[in-house]
Amino acid sequence: MPSVSVIVPLYNKIRYLSDMLDAVLEQTFTDFELIVIDDGSTDGSGEIADHYAAKDDRIKAVHIPNGGVSHARNTGLDLANGKYITFLDSDDTIGMDYLRSLYTCIIENNADFVIGGITKVWPDSEKTIEIKPPYSGKKKTTQILENFVEVQKKTGIYGFCTAKMFSRSILGSTRFDEKLILAEDFDFYLRLYKKAGEICFSENTDYYYLQEADNSPLNVRDEEIDYLSQLSIQIRFAEFLKDMGAFSGKNCEIVEKSISDYAYLTLHYSAKEDFSQRFKVAFDLLSKNEYQLIGDRIRKKVILSLLKNNHQSAAFLLINSYKKAVSLAKQLIRR
- The CA-CA-CA angle for residues 10, 73, 63, to 5°, reads 50
Strands (E), the chain: 4-10, 32-39, 59-64, 84-87, 93-94, 113-115, 118-121, 128-131, 137-140, 164-167, 198-201, 207-210
Beta pairing, strands 84-87 & 4-10:
parallel
Q: Residue 177: its pLDDT value, please?
A: 95
Fold classification of 4-210 is Spore Coat Polysaccharide Biosynthesis Protein SpsA; Chain A (3.90.550)
Q: For residue 5, which of 62, 45, 67 has the smallest C-alpha distance?
A: 62
Q: Residue 186: its pLDDT value, please?
A: 96
Average pLDDT along the chain, 335 residues, taken 10 residues at a time: 96 96 97 98 96 97 97 98 97 97 96 96 88 94 95 96 96 94 93 95 94 58 81 96 95 96 95 95 91 89 95 94 80 72
Q: Whole-prediction pTM value?
A: 0.90
Q: Residue 224: its pLDDT value, please?
A: 74
Domain boundaries, the chain: 4-210, 222-334
